[in-house]
Amino acid sequence: MATVYILFSGKLNRFYTGSCLDVLERLQSHKDKIFTDSFTSKTDDWELFFTINDLDYKQFRLIELHIKKMKSVIYIKNLKQYPELVAKLIERYR
């Protein structure tokens, strides 16, 4: 099962949305700047802000794209604050 994750950098004051099978391993990869030409390689202070776990492949890709298309800090913060938004996303992309 997969995870959609949202990272936050205090230095950049920015969020990053991604998806993977092992979120802790992926977080460490971002902090270690493994992805050299990526947005996340700009800093090493990424912290896990929010996750949506136990998704199948189709769901996690669609939910990740949905969050990215929203381009909204408020939306990202609302996902964390209001679990019903996450439930609606999971149902929508089932």
pTM: 0.94
Q: What is the mean pLDDT of the chain?
A: 95
> pLDDT tens digits for 14-31?
999 999 999 999 999 999
Angle between helices 73-81 and 83-92 (to 10 degrees): 100
- How far is Cα 38 from Cα 78, in angstroms, rounded to an integer? 26
Residue 64: the pLDDT is: 97
> pLDDT tens digits for 34-64?
988 899 999 999 999 999 999 998 999 999 9
Would you tell me how many other CB atoms lie within 10 Å of the CB of residue 22? 11
Domain ranges of the chain: 2-93
